[in-house]
Each structure stands twice: as C-alpha cells, then as structure tokens.
C-alpha cells in the first residue's frame, strides 16, 4: 500500500473579504468548488478552514499528488505566504470521505482559540497541539453544503406537464391575439372599401 502524506499548510488571503455576503466568502467558495472537482482525480482528500484572512488546510493522499497540489496553491493569486506547518506519513487518511471538507465553524474555532489564549485566527502561530486541535475540529465538524454547486431538483413528470401546459396556454393566447388582429384588420378593410 502506498504511503499517504498528510500536509497541513497556512496561507494569507490576497483578496478583500466580502463581508456583506451572508454565506461563504465568494473566493473561498470558488476554491472549494475547484478542489472538489480536482482532488478526486488526484486521489486527494482533506479539509479547509478560512477565517480572519487566513487559510488552514489539510491535504492527504499520494505524496507526489499532494506536493503538486501545494505547488499549484503557491502559484494561486488568492494565496500568499504559503507555509507548510506539518508533513507526516499516515496509514489511513483522516478525511477519507471528503474531497475537500469545509467547516464554517467560526464559533467552535473561537472557543479553540480562547483555549490557547489567541484572539484572532492566525494559523502561522499554531504549534503541534493547536494543529491537532484544529484538525480534530475539522474532522468532527459539519461540512457546509453551500460550497457545492447548486443542483436543480430532480424533474418530476407532473412538473414537465405543468410547464408544457403553461407553454401551450401562452402560445394559445398569442395565437388568439394574432387571429383577432387579422380579423380586425380584415373587417376594417371591408368596411373601408
């Protein structure tokens, strides 16, 4: 069985945070969608947290694939100061079912930070205990569904029939209007002559 590399890194965001958005910051949402598309192809799993302008991410998988992904992140204009916090071999991945889990657990993270005497989320200041605590929080926290692309509800036959009926009704109204116009024009011509 090939070795599994766990790589944890921190970086600073280069974009201005969109504070008016009620959901996930739009750039973070784009990163998640890209990760959830690309990581399965590379056999990578992991988790991401974003807060106070910092990323904290854990990547797990084939060592070469993980390192290639980190190299790509280093070149990504949305990240700066990418710093590897931990690299270790694992027997089994800790995020085995997640192509990229995102836990928007701001309250839980604030409690974790208070426990360690930190006021702001700054993963560059994390020691091994804080890294472990953060990974546990991400492993056990609930993933957000907002980062997934919106999927349309499955079509039901009655929905298609309703749409067809509405379309036919609209076409019928247009046909009646055209016919009424033609009859009116013909009547006008007959009366005018």
Encode pLDDT of 129-149 as tens digits: 999 999 998 888 777 654 443
End position of a domain, from candidates 120, 140, 160 = 140
Residue 146 lies in a domain: no
- State residue 177's pLDDT score: 55
Find the domain containing 11 and state its range: 4-140
Both 79 and 130 in a single domain?
A: yes
Mean pLDDT of 58-87: 94
> Are 98 and 190 contained in the same domain?
no
What CATH code is carried by the domain that includes residue 62?
3.30.70.100
What share of the chain has pLDDT > 90, as a percent?
33
- Classify residue 84: in a domain, yes or no: yes
Q: Tell me the three-class secondary structure of 20-32, residue by residue.
A: CCCCCCHHHHHHH
Residues near 166 by beta carbon (within 8 Å), at least 6 away in sequence: none
**CB burial string 112-125: b at 16+ within 10 A, e below:** bbeeeebeebbbee
């Amino acid at each position: 069985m090939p070795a599994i590399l766990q790589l944890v890194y921190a970086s600073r965001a280069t974009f201005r945070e969109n504070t008016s958005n009620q959901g996930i910051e739009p750039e973070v949402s784009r990163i998640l969608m890209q990760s959830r598309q690309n990581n399965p192809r590379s056999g990578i799993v992991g988790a991401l947290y974003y807060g106070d302008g910092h990323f904290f991410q854990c990547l797990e998988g084939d060592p070469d694939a993980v390192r290639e992904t980190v190299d790509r992140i280093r070149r990504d204009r949305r990240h700066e100061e990418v710093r590897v916090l931990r690299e270790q071999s694992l027997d089994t991945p800790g995020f085995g079912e997640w192509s990229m889990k995102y836990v928007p657990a701001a309250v839980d993270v604030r409690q974790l930070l208070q426990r360690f005497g930190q006021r702001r989320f700054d993963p560059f200041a994390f020691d091994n205990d804080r890294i472990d605590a953060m990974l546990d929080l991400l492993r056990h926290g609930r993933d957000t569904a907002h980062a997934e692309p919106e999927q349309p509800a499955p079509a039901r036959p009655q929905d298609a029939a309703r749409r067809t009926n509405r379309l036919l009704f609209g076409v019928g109204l247009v046909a009646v209007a055209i016919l009424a116009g033609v009859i009116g024009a013909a009547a006008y011509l007959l009366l005018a002559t």
